[in-house]
Amino acid sequence: MLVELVVENYAVVEHARVRFHRGLNLLTGETGSGKSIVVDALGLLYGGRASADVIRSGADRARVAGIFEAPKSAALREVLGDSGIEAEDGELLVEREILANGKSRAFIGSRPVTVALLRDLAPLLGDIHGQHDQQELFSSESQLAMIDEFGAATARAETVAHIFERWQECRRQIEELDRAEQEKLRLADLWSFQKREIEEARMTPGEDARLEAERRVLVNVGRIEESVRGAFALLYDSSEAAYAQLRQARKRVEEASRMDPSLAETAEMLKPAEIAIDEASRSLQHYLGSLEADPARLEDIEGRLALIDKLKRKYGASIEEILAFHDDVSQRLAALETAGERRARLAAEQEKLAAEYRNEAGVLSEERRKAAAHLEAAVREELESLAMGGTEFRVAFSETEWTARGWDRVRFLLSANKGEEARPLDRVASGGELSRLALALRTCIAARSGGKRGGDGGVMRTLVFDEIDAGVGGRTAESVGRRLKRLSALHQILCVTHAPQIAAFADHHYAVEKSVSGGRTVAAVEELTPEARRREIGRMLSGEQTTVEALKQAEQLIKAGSRC
């Protein structure tokens, strides 16, 4: 629902800020006052084409901003999701700037966005029905949605969409498997070779470090033996060895301690050192007994390390990485073996979903055709009351490829003149006729919906009608007004009208007036008080000179409209 509209330097509007409300909002004014500027400005917020021609003379840019009560819907989250924009306190600020060079900029919540995003957002906020703006009426998808809403088939349409999405996902996965199959088959031989080469090496974690240690010993046997024998000799194997010298030292201290007992503790301190040297010497002796050169073992180790280094260059910097590579390759090969089974499962699931889709979409198509027949009759009856008697309205069906909305494609056809062939809406009918057709459609749908509010998440959409009263007056205009009033219980309605009979039904009445200020023409929009409203409708009834009779008649019209 549109809460507020701000227009700056747009055509003859220097600055206007208008608060709109629920219900029926009517805009009136003298011919040429600029009533449709409000509609055109709102069209920019819906992603309409921008032109530098609308910039007020002397200004470098025009700006339009609208605050909308945002629907709490998955559709809105989907549209805004990629932009990271969220409604603040349930409202959306949508802005559009038109620059002097003809370029325009769009913003939502002060964040720059594309005009395409505004166009995607527009159907969630509302629709404009006028001479140049018929997004909903001209869209085949919107026409299909109207038929579903009229025929209470929305739930089945959602079921069809859900089945289609699952069917499409199966198809996508199958196509992905098929595309990858040839490449995987080419790689299968390589993966098998790599797996076999690693397995045949029979490596264990840490094996390379152990082999390197053993190799260092075998390469240096001579030097190790020389060093160890030298150490053994110094420690034990001579009269001058450390063990013999330490033993002699201990004995002398013990002898002295017999004369001075205070040295006894020192003598005891030397015993552990004597024992340690003895044990170290025995260990070195044992080591020398086991140490021997083994050229054959050295050759085996060097060959093994060469193999491990070769595998490291190919598969990883360590044995652990090589083994991890082996596990990965093994999983890929296993996946190849199960790919056929997975494809078969997907194909079976796809066929099952296809059968479900054919069944549900077929039932939906039948329901739509029945609903369309009733809608045709109901709309023709409504058009009779809107001064479009004899108008032929038809819904043409054709079959298209499978989509989330089923396989139906529809086109609304209209012939406003008897005897003429009914043709698509964008090729026939004036703006006023299209506005009345939109009103007739919405009235019929509202009657079938049982009074459910026409918005998502409990929020009203904004329906804008421009030129809806073109070529009508009297009772027909009154009939248009009554239908707008009824429809305003379900949608927020903004309507530009010349007809006092329609204006009398307004919940909120706005006047667009032109004046000259500082030698320049300025247009302003003002919500009317009850008395100002009476005078405005009186003016619409009598022309430039508002008569007492016209004011009385205006008062009667307003009273009658308030009882509706």
Q: What does 140-183 look like in DSSP terms, one character per residue? A: HHHHHHHHHHHTT-HHHHHHHHHHHHHHHHHHHHHHHHHHHHHH
- Is residue 7 located within the same domain as residue 123? yes
Task: Give 298: exposed, middle or buried? Use CB within 10 Å, 0-12, 13-18, 19+.
Answer: middle
Does 199 map to a domain? yes
Domain boundary among 285, 306, 333: 333
The two structure tokens encoding residue 119: 């166009």
Does 350 map to a domain? no
Domain boundary among 287, 313, 333: 333
Q: Give the CATH number, domain containing residue 534.
A: 3.40.50.300
- Is residue 283 located within the same domain as residue 195? yes
Rounded to the nearest 10°, the torsion over CA 387, 390, 391, 396 is 150
Q: Domain count for the chain, please give it.
A: 2
The backbone torsions φ and ψ at residue 473, rounded to the nearest 5 degrees and listed phi first, read -165, -175
- Is residue 124 located within the same domain as residue 198? no
- Is residue 25 located within the same domain as residue 107? yes
- Is residue 105 located within the same domain as residue 210? no
pLDDT digits 0-9 by tens, 512-542: 988 887 778 788 899 999 999 999 999 988 8
Q: Which domain holds residue 518?
A: 2-131+430-562
Q: Whose CA is closest to 291, among 238, 235, 214, 234?
A: 214
Does 307 map to a domain? yes
Residue 345, SS3 per DSSP: helix
Does 502 map to a domain? yes
Domain boundary among 273, 306, 333: 333
Task: Give 137: exposed, middle or buried? Use CB within 10 Å, 0-12, 13-18, 19+.
Answer: buried
pLDDT digits 0-9 by tens, 72-105: 776 777 788 777 787 777 888 999 999 998 899 9
- Is residue 99 located within the same domain as residue 190? no
- Render 423-461 in DSSP notation, one character per residue: EEGGGS--HHHHHHHHHHHHHHHHHHHTS--SSSTT---
| pLDDT in the model for residue 455 | 52
Does 381 map to a domain? no
Residue 42 CA to residue 36 CA, distance in Å, equals 10
- Is residue 300 located within the same domain as residue 191? yes
Rg of the chain over CA atoms, in angstroms? 46
Does 342 map to a domain? no
The two structure tokens encoding residue 437: 């057709």
- Is residue 228 located within the same domain as residue 311? yes
Residue ranges in the chain modelled with pLDDT below 50: 132-133, 457
| pLDDT in the model for residue 79 | 81
- Is residue 18 located within the same domain as residue 83? yes
| pLDDT in the model for residue 508 | 95
The DSSP bridge partners found for residue 6 are 17, 65
- Is residue 325 located within the same domain as residue 190? yes
- Is residue 228 located within the same domain as residue 326? yes
Residue 316, SS3 per DSSP: coil
Does 6 map to a domain? yes
Does 162 map to a domain? no
DSSP 8-state secondary structure symbol assigned to residue 420: S
Pairing of strands 24-28, 492-496: parallel
- Is residue 321 located within the same domain as residue 214? yes
